[in-house]
Amino acid sequence: MSIDPQPQFDLSFNNTLGVPARAAWYAELHEASDLPLLVRWAKEHDMAVRALGGGSNLVMHEQVSGLTIKVSIRGKTRIDSGSSRQRWRLGAGESWHETVVDLIEQGGSGVENLALIPGTVGAAPVQNIGAYGVELADCLYRVEAYDTQENQWRQFTREACEFGYRDSVFKQQENRFIITAVELDLDQEFQPRLSYGPLQELANLPDLNARDVLAKVIEVRQSRLPDPMVLPNAGSFFKNPVITSETYSALVKNHPNLVVYAQPGGWKLAAGWLIDQCGLRGQSNVDGVGCYEHQALVLVNPKRAPAASIQAWQALVQGAVLERFGVELEPEPRFWA
């Protein structure tokens, strides 16, 4: 094996929440061909494997068990699929945002609404990342991953990924499938998606193109979300709850200003608005963990407090929203121990 796993590796700067943590064992993967060897090594030492991307959707405990494999596979290759389409094969270790910018510059469209989402390309399918009315599932063609249980390579079509709202087969069977490459299918003919919030003001812009939407998304996200390099955070910490029409009818009677978005068969609530209404925006606990002053949905950790403090604030927020609205908030990040 060309990679020697390292013991007790510091992960404090490998998670955007800045939580102090160490991996029992750690290896950085640059070549997909080394992955089966690393998985075999972990099994020989009777330990689980964990795939790490940019660490932007994780809450790590002080000691992370098993073998943590940081996926750093790079590469962007265009595979033409037709005069009106672009297909791209992307290494899982590529920066998601930098990739979005590159693909738009190459004349593709369909991912511009997903700009500035932190993390790597390989992590994007796990969470089925989404923003401003667009999800990764809308443009994903195929995922290449290694099955650590069956010890074989797998190709996942869009349907096989079992995408849902911030969900996928990769999340449901966490760390079974380690993603090494992602293929996207993009439009060359721009089709704007402007139904959400501040993007609506672009609708009447003459000669609107994907670069315009990209710039607006970057502007809006930078105004609302803190840079994790400056203020440690994991982005949106809770999912927007999806409720039935019956629940919506009951809620809106007591909360006429309820912020909701229509969904097939129901409604999606704005979790940030719910938290804000509980008076928690800009508030924090004694360890400094709290809700960002400009966006209540973002949990910040300025003092780099441990996971226990993150989870304590999480429970406080969930309890406040449940008491006031009768709605349960589900966290987006995964928890590693």
Instruction: Cite the active site residues.
Output: 166, 236, 332
Cα separation, 79 vs 114, whole angstroms: 21
Give CA–CA dist 285/290, Å, rounded. Answer: 6
* Neighbour-count burial of 151, counting CB atoms closer than 10 A to its CB (0-12 exposed, 13-18 middle, 19+ buried): exposed
CA–CA gap between residue 30 and residue 92 (Å, rounded):
10
Q: Please choose, from the candidates 142, 138, 116, 141, the residue with its C-alpha nearest in 3D space to the C-alpha of residue 128.
A: 138
Token match 């501040």: residue? 198
Per the DSSP assignment, residues forming a β-bridge with 59 are 335
- At which residue do the structure tokens 């075999």 appear? 40
Beta-strand (E) ranges in the chain? 6-10, 22-29, 49-52, 58-60, 63-71, 76-80, 85-91, 130-131, 134-135, 140-147, 152-157, 177-187, 233-236, 242-243, 260-263, 266-269, 290-292, 295-300, 334-336
Q: CB of 76 within 8 A of CB of 153?
A: no
CA distance linking residue 229 with residue 17, whole number of Å: 9
